[in-house]
Structure 1
Amino acid sequence: MPTGTATRAPLLGEPLAVEFMNTVWAERSGVHDALTTADEVAAWLRAAPRIPDCADREPHRWLAVASTRDLEETGKRLRELRDAVRRLAATQTEDPREHAASAVADLVQAISVINHATAQAPHWSRLDWRDGVEPRRLVQTGSKTPAAITAGIAEQAIHLFTSEQRHELRACLAPGCVLYFIKQHPRREWCSAACGNRARAARHYQRHKAGDRTR
């Protein structure tokens, strides 16, 4: 059974599809994958934004009983989908970062992976309206939870890349960063304040280095 460890992936308050892309992250020791082990998969699913159109709280109920093997298989599905989504992100943003390159090199393959994921878990709405309770929409699917999870995330990726929001998607070009973010403010240049500080420090160093060479 998975432990209660916290995810190592940065959670920046971005839309679900972008947070999912950012399960590949970097620090001084190199680039890391936050969906490698069963514990890491469980930790990210607990911490990630709610997956729309995935039966209400179903992933959390499933995590309480999922075996290590269940989570490892789900992790494999998620990594394949995540790499496909990062390929789309790189194409949309014209991402120049070689160290951030997706394992999926082909755009057509990436689209196929995403479409396959959504097809694995068709879902439908059901109206719930009992006496004394406000009417509400419930989402149901006949698929198993792992398929519903990947389908729900794939749906959000499709929504991102077919909406106007795709034009605000950015690759963070701070030194060493591999993350993406939505440019929600005209002056925002980096995924986080920490990356902004690193980028400014790198620029300062380069200016002084260039100045020393001209003396």
Structure 2
Amino acid sequence: MTALAFELSRTVHHDGHGGVADDLDTVDGVAAWIAQAAPLVAEVLGQPFTSADLDPEQPFASADLDPEQPFASADLDPEQARSAGITPERPFASADVDPERVRPGLLELRRAIRSLFAHAVQQPTRADVPNLLAPAAAIAHLNKTADHLGTQHLAWPPTGDPHLLWSGRLKSPNTLLLATTAHTAITFLTSPDRDRLRACPAARCVKYFVQTDPRQTWCTPTCANRGRVQRHYHRTHSPTP
């Protein structure tokens, strides 16, 4: 369930021409990422979630994350909740989505996640060096964002098995997406897998990855091949003594 945080972190990547590309640079790019992330959000929530669940009338900003004013389901007017399709079983109904509304929150959250990845490996990528948050600031942002996911409650339908259901402080479906992503980052950073986190050393790569084998050095075979080519070049072109 930690894949969501990594998918957001990897929206910054090598552009194939020696530079860095950002998949969230455009509204279309944000929409594509949301569609890709939807199954991962559903995995964390234990319920269906699609990009259509994001409400364009409820934009997200970091200023919305006020821990002194938590959101509770009791704050909802029952008639408004029914008209919006909000129920304990289905907290958010489908609505038209404007990815531009959630883009600022995604960018801020990605910066916090990549800053903490860099802190964990003590080796920021070249894409992160000018954008790093101090660890304390990144932690605070991650915690405040995740806090709006609420808490996990027991749900046990009459004809099904018991399962966990998130219930709590969400202000908007936009916040749901961001809070879920932040939660997966916290889950990863507090897990034993954090010790296997690495920054890919390929000259052009800016990705973080989790080692699957102690001998793994690169994030992908492509980067491994690029690294071997680079080492061969330096061996064959270095001046002889």
TM-score (norm 1): 0.81
Counterpart code for 2:185: A
Q: Where does residue 194 of structure 1 map in the other structure?
A: 222
Counterpart code for 1:165: D
Give 1:168 deviation, angstroms: 0.3
Is 1:20 aligned with 2:8? yes
Give 1:161 deviation, angstroms: 1.1
Please give the alpha-carbon distance, in whole angstroms, between the structure 1 residues aligned to 2:53 and 2:130. Answer: 29
Q: Relative to 1, partners in 2 of residues 1:59 and 1:101: Cα closer, same or farther, differing over 3 Å? A: farther
Please give the alpha-carbon distance, in whole angstroms, between the structure 2 residues aligned to 1:140 and 1:42. Answer: 26
Please give the alpha-carbon distance, in whole angstroms, between the structure 1 residues aligned to 2:34 and 2:156. Answer: 27
Q: Where does residue 58 of structure 1 map in the other structure?
A: 49
Aligned residue pair count? 198
**Could you list the runs of 5+ residues in structure 2 that have no partner in the other structure?**
55-93
Q: Where does residue 107 of structure 2 map in the other structure?
A: 79
Please give the alpha-carbon distance, in whole angstroms, between the structure 2 residues aligned to 1:167 and 1:142. Answer: 32
Q: Where does residue 214 of structure 1 map in the other structure?
A: 240
Counterpart code for 2:166: V
Q: Tell me which of 40, 47, 50 is aligned to 2:36.
A: 47
Greater mean deviation of Cα atoms: 31-40 or 78-87: 31-40
Q: Where does residue 165 of structure 2 map in the other structure?
A: 138
Give 1:136 deviation, angstroms: 3.6
In the TM superposition, 1:1-16 aligns within 5 A as 15-16=3-4
Give 1:141 deviation, angstroms: 4.2
Greater mean deviation of Cα atoms: 53-62 or 103-112: 53-62
TM-score (norm 2): 0.73
In the TM superposition, 1:98-177 aligns within 5 A as 98-101=126-129, 103-131=131-159, 133-141=160-168, 143=170, 144-177=172-205
Counterpart code for 2:231: R
**RMSD, aligned α-carbons:** 2.3
The answer to whether the Cα contact below 8 Å between 1:25 and 1:179 also exists between their aligned partners in 2 is yes
Deviations, residues 148-183 of structure 1 (Å, cap 9, x unaligned)? 111111111111111111100000011210001100
Please give the alpha-carbon distance, in whole angstroms, between the structure 2 residues aligned to 1:60 and 1:140. Answer: 20
Query: Percent identity of the aligned residues?
Result: 31
Please give the alpha-carbon distance, in whole angstroms, between the structure 2 residues aligned to 1:66 and 1:103. Answer: 32
Please give the alpha-carbon distance, in whole angstroms, between the structure 2 residues aligned to 1:96 and 1:153. Answer: 21
Please give the alpha-carbon distance, in whole angstroms, between the structure 2 residues aligned to 1:16 and 1:202. Answer: 32
The answer to whether the Cα contact below 8 Å between 1:127 and 1:137 also exists between their aligned partners in 2 is yes
Q: Relative to 1, partners in 2 of residues 1:159 and 1:136: Cα closer, same or farther, differing over 3 Å? A: closer
The answer to whether the Cα contact below 8 Å between 1:81 and 1:154 also exists between their aligned partners in 2 is yes
Q: Secondary structure at the match of 2:40?
A: coil
Is 1:185 aligned with 2:174? no
The answer to whether the Cα contact below 8 Å between 2:150 and 2:166 also exists between their aligned partners in 1 is no
Q: Relative to 1, partners in 2 of residues 1:61 and 1:110: Cα closer, same or farther, differing over 3 Å? A: same
Deviations, residues 120-163 of structure 1 (Å, cap 9, x unaligned)? 331432413223x3444333345221111111111111111111
